[in-house]
Amino acid sequence: MMTRRQALKTTALASAVCATATIVRTINAQSPTGPTPAAGATGPFTLPALPYVFDALEPHIDALTMQIHHDKHHAAYVANLNKAVADFPELREKPVEELVRNLNAVPEKIRAAVRNQGGGHWNHSLFWQMMKKEGGGQPAGEMLKGVEKRFGTFGAFKDEFTKAALGQFGSGWAWLVLDANKQLSIEPAPNQDSPTSQNKQPLLGIDVWEHAYYLKYQNRRPDYVAAFFQVIDWDFVSERYKQALS
């Protein structure tokens, strides 16, 4: 028979378990269920859902950074892009990739906004997909062959990519791209400039804006870049490579 004291203890324990379960459910409830409209946005562009839960990339990329980065920063690019194209019905029909690919076709009045906000939307839409839980390692198949042909070894590629990510002064990105001649190269890019605007296919990119790492890594950008290599989704990157080659 359970004493009153034991019963109270059991009840307290059950409540604690319940509370923990509620927290876990709350986090899981943030898993992707479809596009989330950006706050206050009128469309046509929408914030794509993260393809995983906020804490999926822990301990390499922390949940709070992912949440703020996606729900606030990316959402703001989407909302501002929507504002920029509000009076341009012909632009509202186009996918963001197309707007960014041909900035010269965008009216001068909103070209800078599309470059920055559209670039931000496009870059981040790719960025989330370039990472996954238990990613990392190195590519296989054609992607690995391509990397070895161009850089010698995967390690040499990693060093060069890291150098570009660390060398980008201020806010920006480092990209592995396939250029118009189907050559792989590594390029830093300032702000939200996209390789797509230069007629290059972005395959892998790392966001080195401080908002991408400051909560966890503060000024230690090298630690963040090393952590990024632990979460790269090489399957996704390899698939983009295959499509870009064909």
Tell me which residues touch Mn ion (CB under 5 A): 207, 209
- C-alpha distance from residue 136 to each of 121, 140, 207, 228, 230 (Å): 24, 12, 16, 8, 4
- Give least dist CB 56 to Mn ion, A: 17
Written in H, E and C, the secondary structure of 16-79 is HHHHHHHHHHHHHCCCCCCCECCCCCCCCCCECCCCCCHHHHCCCCCHHHHHHHHHHHHHHHHH
Sheet of strand 201-207: strand arrangement: 184-190, 172-178, 201-207
Using CB atoms, what's the residue nearest to Mn ion?
207
Nearer to Mn ion, 74 or 151 (CB): 74
The least CB distance from residue 208 to Mn ion, in Å, is: 9
Q: To the nearest whole angstrom, how small is the minimum distance from the Cβ of residue 174 to Mn ion? A: 13
Strands 184-190 and 201-207, sheet pairing? unpaired
Nearer to Mn ion, 114 or 126 (CB): 126
**Between 193 and 207, whose beta carbon lies closer to Mn ion?**
207
Of the two residues 207 and 233, which places its CB atom closer to Mn ion in the complex? 207
Closest approach of Cβ 71 to Mn ion, in Å?
A: 12
CB contact set of 198 (below 8 Å; sequence gap of 6+)? none
